Structure 1
Amino acid sequence: MNKTAIILGATGLTGSLLLDNLLNNDAYAKVIVFSRSKIEISHPKLEILIIDLFKISEHQDDFKAQVVFCCIGSTKAKTPDESVYKSIDYGIPVSAAKLCKLNNIPTFIVVSSLGANPKSNMFYNRIKGEMERDVLNLNIENTFILQPSLIDGRRDELRIFEWLWQKAMRLINGLLIGKLRKYRSIKAETISDAMVILDLNGYKNQIIESHQIKELVKNA
């Protein structure tokens, strides 16, 4: 295979791991990163385009690949302005999916969140749910939406509450059994591995919950 892949969100925790995965996978001949900030990585397969991600729809001519991986996401703590938050977590993924449709890119894989629901009373869950709904409505040939629980991993920026919550979750994960197991924390490496598996092998469901992400990687 000589695939070209596009990544959005390659500077984040999951996205940076995914970028490393793709650069070291022979199935991908070229990896294009759309980013608002510089990435200190050099690789013969890598092309970096520094753009305003809020205006990604203006870059249709550069948006050419066989698969698009979207790892874009913020937090309420990092982006307290709800309109800006929606522009990131809803606007960028939906705009990218629309470009996939326009350019006949057959596969769109996006990281959402467990609990996403367009009818939710919780702002975060509602925005993620609206994003999922509108991405699915585009009917891209292969659409996969990952819904991880709390993502466990080391971030460049210090998020005290999230760090403490990760520590707590590691202690109680074993208590979450049966229907509750989907709420166990999940490693960022597992999510990035699953995204590659989904692209190369497909899956039976379009929406993949946290425990299913783990099973997908375990059974690969």
Structure 2
Amino acid sequence: MGMRAAIVVGATGLTGTSLVEQLCENDEYVSVTVIARRKPAFTHPKLEVKIRNLDTLEEKDIEFAHELYCCLGTTIKKAGSREAFEKVDFEYPLAIASLAKKRGIPHMLVITAMGANENSPIYYNRVKGKLEHDLMELGLQRLSIIRPSLLIGEREEFRLGEKAGEKVLKLVKPLLVGPLKRSRAIEASQVAKAMIVIALYGNKQPVTIYQSQELAKLDFPETQDEDVSREKLFNWDKHKLPSSSDEGDKVNQEVVINRDKYKIEETVVDKEVKFQHRRDR
């Protein structure tokens, strides 16, 4: 069992909800903290919820964690205006990232969008691209940018445009091959799982961008059970009856403790881990 701690903002949305559940069920994590404006429905012994106003969030509201997961996102229609939309999708993530850097959190994972580009003619993609640019400029120790295509799953609120887009993408999915494969819709639960895989086994470079088609394939590495023979499993020598000569030697033996054997050294091992990719369905 691991000893990791995670912070999640945007935990009540489609991907955030699944992410929190999966983090709590993952043996590598012993603590999951949610910072939100309202309490999520999900409860778990590992989970701590901090109800905060993101407009007044302070450094003291963010404790140290190994990962900060940012799943904040809305729509212009839901936000009510472009200004309100930018506050949720740009200002809040950037402010939280700045606080996390001050707290020494080594890794931030943030969801943007497949078409994120600060020079895009599409307003939504332009805002997401601007967020990516400014997060890179912030100089975080490690930044993982998650660019999913259309997210599918059961939302609390009904979004007509996304539902229509989901149906269209399902119909044309067989045609989306080659470069077009990146446009396939993706389950929010798979994006959440991919984020945890990236946190535990992903690229250790300062900035890494993960496109939707890669997110769809990421899975936890397979674990192979070691083949232990019956002889190794059961130490027969331990149960041999000692001879009289053995007993005599034991009494007169000098006990020597090798203190060098017990010297503790701190070693950092950084090796590349290959992902186990799932086959496309």
What amino acid does structure 2 have at the position aligned with 1:122? Answer: I
The residue correspondences of 1:147-158 to structure 2 (distance < 5 A) are 147-158=147-158
What amino acid does structure 2 have at the position aligned with 1:26? Answer: D
Could you say which residue in structure 2 is the equivalent of 1:209? 211
Across the aligned residues of Structure 1 and Structure 2, the Cα RMSD in angstroms comes to 1.5
CA apart distance, 1:209 = 0.9
Q: Which has the higher contact order (CA 8 A, sep 6+)?
A: 1
Could you say which residue in structure 1 is the equivalent of 2:166? 166
CA contact (8 A) 1:2 1:27 kept: yes
Structure 2 residues not aligned, in runs of 5+: 220-275
Could you say which residue in structure 2 is the equivalent of 1:200? 200
2:71 is aligned with 1:13: no
User: Which stretch of the first structure deviates more once superposed, 8-17 or 61-70?
Assistant: 61-70
CA contact (8 A) 2:62 2:99 kept: no
Structure 1 residues not aligned, in runs of 5+: none
Identity of aligned residues (%): 36
The residue correspondences of 1:53-202 to structure 2 (distance < 5 A) are 53-56=54-57, 58-202=58-202
CA contact (8 A) 1:94 1:135 kept: yes
- Cα-to-partner distance string for 1:139-198 (whole Å, 9 max, x where unaligned): 222210011111111101111221122111111111111111111111111100000001
CA contact (8 A) 1:36 1:50 kept: yes
CA contact (8 A) 1:5 1:65 kept: yes
Distance 1:118 1:63 in 2: 31
Q: Scaled by the length of structure 2, what TM-score is found?
A: 0.74
Could you say which residue in structure 2 is the equivalent of 1:34? 35
User: Which stretch of the first structure deviates more once superposed, 183-192 or 62-71?
Assistant: 62-71
User: Which stretch of the first structure deviates more once superposed, 137-146 or 179-188?
Assistant: 137-146
CA apart distance, 1:27 = 0.6
What amino acid does structure 1 have at the position aligned with 2:133? Answer: R
Distance 2:48 2:62 in 1: 11
User: Which stretch of the first structure deviates more once superposed, 109-118 or 157-166?
Assistant: 157-166
Distance 1:32 1:59 in 2: 15
Asked which structure has the greater CA Rg, the reply is 2
CA apart distance, 1:122 = 1.6
Say if 1:102 and 1:150 are closer, same or farther in 2 by CA, change over 3 A. Answer: same
What amino acid does structure 2 have at the position aligned with 1:130? Answer: K
